[in-house]
Amino acid sequence: MKTIIHKRERVYMTNNKWKRVTTTFLTISAIIVLIAMSPLNRDIIMEDVLYSSIVWVESKGNANAKSKDGSVGIIQIKPVMVKEVNRICKIKGIDKRFTLTDRRNPSKSSEMFWIYQEFYNPTINRDSLSKEDMEIMSRKWNGGPEGHKKKATRKYWKKVSNRVVIELEERNLAKI
């Protein structure tokens, strides 16, 4: 049995298809415009700028970087740091465990960095990072939980701080 579609029905079906396509296109366009017009979230930017700056200072973004002291990856994680982050996860009830291989994984390195930071900087609000907060976080990353008090970590902060300025300029955000 052959179904016959009249000319009017074909036109209706074609028009209906184009209405769906047009509606979808307009919806997606509206979402893109809303995202583009929303104000920049300074706090997320500063968090990202800090992390990117530390990555640059530590390895220039090379996930396979390795130093003489056994540090590996984009943020140069030592085996003792993996052990410490796993200890923190256990204390905090975080259902994660990291391996030495994870140091070469940029995503897992980032997770370890932020778990460490949140544990050793409980009073710092990542939603409103100041330059002072960034200094404390950087110096603790370089010198351990008391690193922000060590004279030896000042030079490291200087390098990170200089890179923060460059990162902000490259993103056209120097005025933030």
Tens digits of residue pLDDT in 54-93: 999 999 999 999 999 999 999 999 999 999 999 999 999 9
Query: What is the model's pLDDT at position 170?
Result: 81
Q: How many CA atoms lie within 13 A of 91 on its CB side?
A: 11
Encode pLDDT of 115-142 as tens digits. 999 999 999 887 778 889 999 999 999 9
The Cβ of residue 78 has, within 10 Å, a number of other Cβ atoms equal to: 15
Quote the CA–CA distance of 45 and 165 in Å, as a whole number. 13
12-16, 33-37, 100-104, 162-166: least confident range? 33-37
Q: Which of 127, 150, 135, 152 is nearest to 45 (CA)?
A: 127
**CB-CB contact of 74 with 106 (8 Å):** yes
Answer for the pair 163, 170: CB distance below 8 angstroms, yes or no. no
**165-175 as b/e, with b when 16 or more CB fall inside 10 Å?**
eebbeeeeeee
**Predicted structure pTM score:** 0.72
